[in-house]
């Protein structure tokens, strides 16, 4: 079977943007987004790669390519949700290994106690609250962009962000 390879001109369509452009411009932002939601950097990178593959597959049928970046963000968030659900199943399974693997020196050097506390508190929030906070304060998206990415109303974004901030403050205060 022969693979069909599109040219940049074929990919660009009317908007002039290509999947390659999106990849070059937004890959690391999306990896950072995913790494705030899943626990391992490798998982985050894999989720982002899967999102780009899905975008490439859907590219020809995408009616409005200006919405490709929100589509990618949604695909990353959905991939993170899926990864976290899978991890819960794995965590519930009994294992013979009673000792946890130590963090790599790189992870230990990068993650301070404060960062770990904040990330742990963030990860303990309900999914929508966590996603709204990460998209707002990490990617600096507007309420409209978050609403578009999560496919919810701007009012819901405000509610989730407000509740998430309050819960995060409570958790960090309890921890201190």
Kindly report the pTM of this predicted structure.
0.57
Instruction: Name 37's Cβ contacts closer than 8 Å, sequence gap at least 6.
Output: 44, 77, 80, 84, 123, 130, 131, 134
User: Mind listing the pLDDT tens digit for each residue in 23-78?
Assistant: 999 999 999 999 999 988 999 999 999 999 999 998 988 888 888 999 999 999 99
The mean pLDDT of 92-116, rounded to a whole number, is 62
Q: What angle do CA 92, 95, 100 make, to 5 degrees?
A: 95
Rounded (5°) CA angle 76-135-125 = 90
pLDDT at position 2 = 32
Asked whether residue 115 carries a pLDDT value surpassing 60, the answer given is yes
- Would you say residue 97 lies in a domain? no
| Domain that includes residue 71, residue range | 9-92
Amino acid 107: pLDDT: 62
Q: Which CATH number goes with the domain that contains 125?
A: 1.10.10.10
What is the b/e burial string over 75-86, where b = at least 16 CB atoms within 10 angstroms of the residue's CB?
Answer: bbbebbeebbee
One domain, residues 125 and 86: no
* pLDDT, position 20: 93
């Amino acid at each position: 079977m022969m693979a069909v390879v599109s040219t940049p001109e074929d990919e660009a369509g009317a908007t002039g943007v290509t999947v390659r452009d999106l990849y070059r411009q937004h890959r690391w932002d999306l990896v950072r987004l995913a790494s705030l939601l899943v626990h391992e950097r490798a998982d985050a990178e894999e989720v982002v790669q899967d999102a780009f593959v899905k975008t490439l597959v859907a590219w020809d049928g995408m009616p409005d390519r200006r919405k490709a970046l929100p589509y990618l963000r949604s695909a990353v968030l959905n991939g993170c949700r899926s990864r976290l659900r899978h991890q819960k199943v794995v965590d519930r399974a009994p294992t013979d290994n009673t000792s946890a693997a130590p963090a790599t020196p790189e992870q230990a050097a990068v993650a301070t106690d404060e960062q770990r506390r904040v990330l742990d508190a963030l990860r303990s929030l309900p999914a929508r609250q966590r996603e709204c906070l990460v998209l707002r304060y990490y990617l600096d998206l507007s309420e409209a962009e978050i609403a578009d990415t999560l496919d919810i109303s701007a009012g819901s974004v405000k509610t989730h962000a407000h509740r998430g901030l309050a819960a995060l403050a409570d958790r960090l205060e309890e921890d201190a």
